[in-house]
Amino acid sequence: MSKTRLGIMASGGGSNADAILQSCADGKLNATGAVIISNNKDAGVHNVAKKHNVPSYHISRDMFRDGRQFADKLINIFREHQVDLILLAGYMRKLPPALIRSWRNAVLNIHPALLPAHGGKGMYGIRVHEDVLAKGDKETGVTIHFVDEEYDRGPILHQVGGVPVYPNDTPEKIAARVLEVEHRAYCEAVQIWMDKHN
């Protein structure tokens, strides 16, 4: 069976991208990193791309006169690299609807909480974990969901709960505990997707 070709979009350090590409390299995932796109030219994810010999591009909306040209650029890059599945891994920008339509049911995003809790507009990064603390939750977790035009509200593909929240926790401590689970959960989610689509 041919390997599923992954297109990864990230804005930051890329530890999720690294975990997924490492699983591919270790033969744990029958997939391969085809291309990485970041909206941030200095993002650490470009170093992750180099480590795994995956081409990476800096592409951001402000490089284009209009949204259609931006969408076409993303679509063309993913088509050139024959991407089957697009993974958002800390990608902090809106996706053009044309891209979502071109990869229907093949765009995933990871959210560092148990959606629908602690999700929606403005709920990203450390704010998610601040909300977990503020609401007094005793545990948290990770959600991988399909990306549709409604963004954080796409159908859930995989969730991993049971991440403890301790009384004297800080948002940063929770974030670090959850991030470790993200790395495993995203790989599991890619496997679940491949089992459904191959």
Q: Which of residues 76-105 bind ligand GRF (CB under 6 A)?
A: 89-90
Position 20 contacts ligand GRF (CB under 6 A): no
In the structure encoding, which two tokens stand for residue 124, read together? 């990203």
Nearest to 77 by CA among 24, 34, 140: 34
Candidate list 46, 111, 158, 183, residue with the active-site label:
111
Position 110 contacts ligand GRF (CB under 6 A): yes
Position 14 contacts ligand GRF (CB under 6 A): yes
Tell me how far, at minimum, the Cβ of 95 lies from ligand GRF, in Å. 13
Per CB under 6 A, the segment of 9-17, 23-31, 64-72, 158-166 that binds ligand GRF is 9-17
Tell me how far, at minimum, the Cβ of 149 lies from ligand GRF, in Å. 19
Bridge partners, residue 9, by sequence: 37, 88
Tell me how far, at minimum, the Cβ of 97 lies from ligand GRF, in Å. 20
Q: Which is nearer to ligand GRF, 66 or 155 (CB)?
A: 155
Of 7, 8, 9, 15, which lies in the binding site for ligand GRF, with binding defined by CB under 6 A? 15
Tell me how far, at minimum, the Cβ of 177 lies from ligand GRF, in Å. 11
Bridge partners, residue 148, by sequence: 151
Position 56 contacts ligand GRF (CB under 6 A): no
Size of the site for ligand GRF (CB under 6 A): 13
Position 48 contacts ligand GRF (CB under 6 A): no
Q: Cα separation of 154 and 138, whole Å?
A: 25
Active site (annotated) includes residue 129: no
Per CB under 6 A, the segment of 20-28, 98-106, 108-116, 188-196 that binds ligand GRF is 108-116
